[in-house]
Structure 1
Amino acid sequence: MSSTKYILGLFDDPDEMMNGIDNLQRNSVPIYDVYTPMPIHGIEAKLGIKESRLGYAAFMFGCLGGTIVFSMICYMLVLDWPMNIGGKMHFAVPDFIPITFEWTVLFTAFGMTGTFFFATHLFPGRAPRVMDLRATNDRFVIAIDAKGNIPHDDITNLLKQSGAVEVKHNDRKYVSYE
């Protein structure tokens, strides 16, 4: 039994990589992931990646921040320690709007930062996980899960026909920078 976990096809050109994705999908080879040194327009649709739900999380963090700070202001300035400042009412909502807005933005920013780190496993101090180090510099990499897939030689031939410069058989999931 082979110890190969992933088959990596390395490409020089993004157009050849896109042709490689088409070729693999035509032959019913499931693609694990694609790594590129720059964003490529349309690759999400081609791979069937769903739209991000981070916008919903941002909305929820904003609602949470606005509710918390508005509740705090109401409690502190209306119930706990009401003060008569210039003859204004204690519950002067227009005065609460600027600080409520600022805290809503603050909660959204910090919440989204934490959510992003949680979703991508890019916590500070953690070594980045990458299939091939050249994917961050000058190569376009298609990763294919080798377990339970068609014979490895067929996948290698499909990648070579599509224009892969190099085909690697990895026995580890990630390569570390160290």
Structure 2
Amino acid sequence: MASKKIHAIYTDDDLLLQAVKQTRAANYHISEVFTPFPVHGLDHAVGIAPTRIAITSFLYGLTGLGVAVLMMNYMMIQDWPQNIGGKPSFTFYQNMPTFIPIMFELTVFFAAHLMVVTFYMRSKIWPFKKAENPDVRTTDDHFLMEVDADNHDVEKLTKFLYDTGASEISLIENEQDH
């Protein structure tokens, strides 16, 4: 079974944002929007839920802090306590002020690196993956809105998209494997 999509090209980000709002108000399904730069308010206009990557970043930071505390407690207190500069090495809390830079650095290290890995996995950006950009101009100065046209009159949808300010429209038919 073939799926039909319409690619509408826009030349201005404000025009695209207004077109997305009009298209959603007309109950057409926007499957994807490609832009050369982030457009403020576009994710809300398309209906994309807010991201939860900040929550995962916080959890990764806590993991890094936990690893730092356990690592320093084991190395500096239990395994091989040393008297460095006259500082006692009896308990962890007595030495904690000197351990703060290490705890901070490992918190940031874990949060940053694991957040990047999570972002790549969530976005399905794998090494050597072929780009999915349908039009090369969207990396330069054009904006593309991909609208599902399966259950709609294509000519009516095309006219509607031209009325929203699209400069170019093309019908794309893809074969789906089920």
With the shorter chain as reference, the TM-score category is 0.7 to 0.9
What is the CA–CA distance in structure 2 between the aligned matches of 1:156 and 1:113, rounded to whole Å?
Answer: 39
What is the CA–CA distance in structure 1 between the aligned matches of 2:55 and 2:19, rounded to whole Å?
Answer: 34
Contact 1:33 1:142 survives alignment (8 Å): yes
What is the CA–CA distance in structure 2 between the aligned matches of 1:80 and 1:5, rounded to whole Å?
Answer: 65
Amino acid at match of 1:49: I
Contact 2:24 2:46 survives alignment (8 Å): no
Amino acid at match of 2:25: R
Contact 1:23 1:158 survives alignment (8 Å): no
- The aligned length equals 171
Q: How does 1:1-178 map to 2 (within 5 A)?
A: 3-90=2-89, 91=91, 92-147=95-150, 149-172=151-174
1:11–1:86 Cα change, 3 Å: closer
RMSD of Structure 2 on Structure 1 (CA): 1.9
- What TM-score do the two structures reach when normalised by structure 2? 0.86
- What is the percent sequence identity of the aligned residues? 33
Superposition misfits of 4+ residues, deviation over 3 angstroms = none
- What TM-score do the two structures reach when normalised by structure 1? 0.86
What is the CA–CA distance in structure 2 between the aligned matches of 1:26 and 1:79, rounded to whole Å?
Answer: 65
Q: Which has the higher strand share?
A: 2
1:83–1:14 Cα change, 3 Å: closer
What is the CA–CA distance in structure 2 between the aligned matches of 1:80 and 1:167, rounded to whole Å?
Answer: 69
CA offset at residue 13 of structure 1?
2.2
CA offset at residue 72 of structure 1?
0.9
Structure 2: where are the runs of 5+ without partners? Answer: none
Structure 1: where are the runs of 5+ without partners? Answer: 174-178
CA offset at residue 128 of structure 1?
2.2
